[in-house]
C-alpha cells in the first residue's frame, strides 16, 4: 500500500521517541515510511526529501529532532504538505531547546508543533491519522473506536486506588 505518512528524524538516536508515532499508526492501520534525515549531517538529503515529498504520494510529514531542531522547519520550507514537528528530549536542556526551535516559526511557513518526547510523537501519529481520516471513512471509524476505548477505560476505573 502507498504510504501516506513519512516519519523522518534527525538521528537514529531519535527512534526510541519517534516509535510512539509508529505505534499509534500501526494500531490504526495507517501506512508510513521511516527515514533518518539530518538537517546538519545530510542537508542535501533533506532538500531532496522536501522537494519529492508530494510526488512520492505522502500527505503528512512527521519530523522529529532534538537539540537545535531545525529539521521540521526546513522540511516545511520545502514542501506544502502539513509538517508535524516533534521536539525530542535533549540531554542538555531537556528538550526545551528542541521545542523552541520547532515551535517558533516566523509567519508564512507553518509547522504544527507537538509536546516534547514520546507523548508528542504519539500525538503526531494520532494527528496524522485524524488528518487522513477526513477522506477515509474506515480510518475515521477506527479512530472513533480508539477514542471510545480510551474513554471507557477511564470510566471503568474511576477509583485511583484500584489496580
Ligand atoms: C539531532 O541531534 C537529532 O535529531 C538528535 O536528537 C540530536 C542528537 O543526535 P545524535 O548526536 O544522537 O546523532 O540531529
- For residues 46 and 39, the answer to whether their CB atoms sit within 8 Å is yes
Q: What is the pLDDT of residue 53?
A: 98
160 within domain boundaries: no
- Domain-embedded: residue 155: no
Q: Is the CB of 11 under 6 A from ligand 1?
A: yes
Is 154 domain-assigned? no
Q: What is the pLDDT of residue 128?
A: 98
Q: Could you identify the atom of ligand 1 that is nearest to the CA of residue 66?
A: 6
Distance, in Å, from the CA atom of 156 to the CA atom of 145, rounded to the nearest integer, reads 16
Total domains present in the chain: 1
Taking the C-alpha atoms of residue 149 and residue 157, their distance in angstroms, rounded to an integer, is 12
Between CA 39 and CA 36 the distance in angstroms is 10
Ligand 1: centre distance to CA 17 (Å):
12
Alpha-carbon span 26 to 19, nearest angstrom? 10
Give percent of the chain with pLDDT exceeding 90: 93
Here the CATH number for the domain that contains residue 98 is 3.40.50.1970
- Tell me the whole-structure pTM to 2 decimals: 0.96
| Ligand 1 atom nearest to CA at 64 | 4
User: Is 90 marked as binding a ligand?
Assistant: no
Predicted confidence at residue 38, as pLDDT, reads 96
* Residue 96 belongs to domain spanning: 5-135
Domain assignment present for residue 140? The answer is: no
Is 67 a domain residue?
yes
Ligand 1, atom 14: closest residue by C-alpha? 10
Residue 36, domain member (yes or no) = yes
Q: With contact defined as beta carbons under 8 Å apart, do 69 and 120 qualify?
A: no
pLDDT of residue 124: 99
Please indicate if the annotation marks 11 as binding a ligand.
yes
80 annotated ligand binder: no
Q: Is 9 helix (H, G, I), strand (E, B) or coil?
A: strand
pLDDT, mean of residues 26-44: 97
Q: What is the pLDDT of residues 80-121, one digit of tens each?
A: 999 999 999 999 999 999 999 999 999 999 999 999 999 999
Q: Quick check: ipTM above 0.90?
A: yes
Answer whether residue 39 shows pLDDT above 90.
Answer: yes
In a domain, 14, yes or no: yes
pLDDT computed for residue 131 by the predictor: 98
Nearest-atom number in ligand 1 for the CA of 12 is 13
Amino acid at each position: 500500500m502507498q504510504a501516506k505518512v513519512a516519519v523522518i528524524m534527525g538521528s537514529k538516536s531519535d527512534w526510541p521517541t519517534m516509535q510512539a508515532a509508529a505505534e499509534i499508526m500501526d494500531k490504526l492501520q495507517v501506512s508510513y515510511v521511516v527515514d533518518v534525515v539530518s538537517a546538519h549531517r545530510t542537508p542535501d538529503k533533506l532538500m531532496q526529501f522536501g522537494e519529492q515529498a508530494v510526488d512520492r504520494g505522502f500527505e503528512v510529514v512527521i519530523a522529529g529532532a532534538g537539540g537545535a531542531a531545525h529539521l521540521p522547519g526546513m522540511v516545511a520550507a520545502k514542501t506544502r504538505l502539513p509538517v508535524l514537528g516533534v521536539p525530542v528530549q535533549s540531554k542538555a536542556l531537556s528538550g526545551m531547546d528542541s521545542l523552541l526551535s520547532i515551535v517558533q516559526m516566523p509567519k508564512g511557513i507553518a509547522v504544527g508543533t507537538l509536546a516534547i518526547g514520546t507523548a508528542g510523537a504519539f500525538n503526531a501519529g494520532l494527528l496524522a491519522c485524524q488528518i487522513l481520516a477526513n477522506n477515509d471513512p474506515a480510518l475515521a471509524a477506527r479512530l472513533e473506536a480508539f477514542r471510545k476505548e480510551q474513554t471507557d477505560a477511564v470510566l471503568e476505573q474511576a477509583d485511583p486506588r484500584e489496580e
